[in-house]
A and B are shown apart, each in its own frame.
Chain A
């Protein structure tokens, strides 16, 4: 049965970008770097590409488009509580850290349940992670 309600809020739809298929939790607004400045948009798609988009000269503009990772981006999370802003994204069984310039990719960790965790730590040390 349809709900009866008073439509008190109306919306205008605006199409901005077309990227690869998007999963749940893969679109995030990045905090504005200066007060009253518009926000940038961070997107990760199913083709494994990361995008940073902004509104420039009256139209949406993809500022950064990375080369594709091997697997689809399954989740994006931000951590702006720490001094340096960090953007986390996952693909496959790994999580990576980057920034809004997408210049730094830091391997964060790999999810392996059936291994002894010391082995992971040793391999991390060998790779020079943390």
Chain B
């Protein structure tokens, strides 16, 4: 059974489809032909396809979970460029409506940074990246559009926490400056720019997780200046008319509410499903050794109850106006309740887990809806949850692993395939894929808390794990290999 399509892009008679770790190109005509599939070995969060000057075939740019932008020619990886966090959105960068170049691309990441990728005939590079290591809310969409109609494009950037930023572009694309920041209470999922109302300016039409579609229109200063002041008589007349209108609308709302309540009482059946959408992110922040836990809900959240056998600390609740209570008992090392105000659709908090045992964080979300319903999330917590995958070439690896005398070594020998032991390790360490298609593998992991290194070498019948710290080896041996 194939996985669901997360995103896709169509150019002429070609389609590029992304599904979890894979991006495939298909050509359609008399029949649909698969032209190649690229296995990224970790989830893909964003895709853009473009015909770049000097390249014979369209190139696809993907945002990979391992914090890299990858440029592909169908199934061949051409360039890999590291960025601050997993890229969540990619879009062409144009300086003005007369800019026809295809070489610059805007990208936004999960940790809130954004930047420009430049692709030339024989090279690719990141020109700049802003807001690195600040950990802002993730970028859900960004575009370069002339929103204030001054002849020069602006960069419009939307974050999932409801923030919309506008950046002006200077003489070159290397200079940008923030010119506007608009905050909404919605959990944003994307936007498009167009003209929805007749005789009006361009609008930024935003979509939200709660299903609300709303627009932001730039206020025209010219229109405001040309407005004539109204006299007292007209003001009183307008005020009376508007008051009447508000009263009529209030009555209408209360009538509709009564109708809705009646319908609910009639149709209420405990077997009936009352589904609502919940989305969550549980991302390790490398600099802080904390998890950024974000919950997005279709309905406003009333209460969240978190419980886990794994010991953990609630470091910070980023969302404002949340009442928090944390307790622990013999059975559950961590129990926390969060009480929220009525209009909150997104909750952000920072959690630090204690390494040692594998279990899960059970999270019950109760929204403000009728009839009362709840959603239960089970978030797996791995034994060495604060570890992250690093490259072998990193300076820190050379310094810590080079001295063989200071290393602790765990050798596992027996009759097993590399894929079997890989599957066990995937339950202990993050960033280790569940499936291994090779007969050998090597992983370098670093603890974000203690900065110690774990090196894992896998082959058929042998697995060697080295570390300059004993505890990870003991955790692997005692909890999983015994």
Contact = CB atoms under 8 A, between A and B. Distances in A.
Interface of A: 1, 3, 5-29, 32, 37-39, 41, 43, 45-46, 53-55, 60, 71, 74-75, 77, 79, 81-82, 86, 88, 90, 92-95, 108-114, 117, 120-121, 124-125, 129-130
**B-side interface mostly:** strand
29 contacts: A3-B181, A5-B181, A9-B147, A10-B180, A11-B218, A12-B216, A13-B182, A14-B203, A14-B217, A20-B298, A21-B298, A23-B190, A24-B89, A29-B192, A29-B205, A38-B195, A39-B196, A41-B213, A43-B207, A46-B277, A53-B213, A55-B196, A55-B197, A75-B8, A92-B5, A93-B4, A111-B24, A121-B31, A121-B32
B191 interface: yes
A27 B218 contact: no
Contact of A25 (B148, B190, B196, B219): B190
B32 A120 contact: yes
Given A10-B219, A21-B211, A74-B5, 19 more contacts: A5-B178, A9-B179, A11-B204, A15-B214, A16-B196, A18-B211, A32-B195, A38-B198, A74-B7, A77-B8, A79-B11, A81-B12, A90-B8, A90-B17, A94-B5, A108-B32, A124-B32, A125-B31, A130-B30
Interface of B: 2-12, 15, 17, 19, 22, 24, 26, 28-34, 37, 89, 134, 140-141, 147-148, 154, 164, 166, 168, 177-182, 184, 189-198, 200, 203-219, 276-277, 298
Contacts of B207: 22, 26-27, 43
Contacts of B203: 14
A109 B15 contact: yes
A54 B184 CA distance: 23
Nearest to B184: A13
B4 A71 contact: yes
B189 A93 contact: no
Given A27-B191, A82-B12, A22 B196 contact: no
A17 B207 CA distance: 10
A27 B213 CA distance: 9
A37 B198 contact: yes
A12 B200 CA distance: 12
A106 to B, nearest CB: 11
Contact of A112 (B2, B6, B180): B2
B2 A93 contact: yes
Contacts of B209: 21-22
Contact of B218 (A9, A19, A95): A9
A117 B33 contact: yes
B179 A7 contact: yes
Contacts of B196: 16, 29, 38-39, 41, 54-55, 60
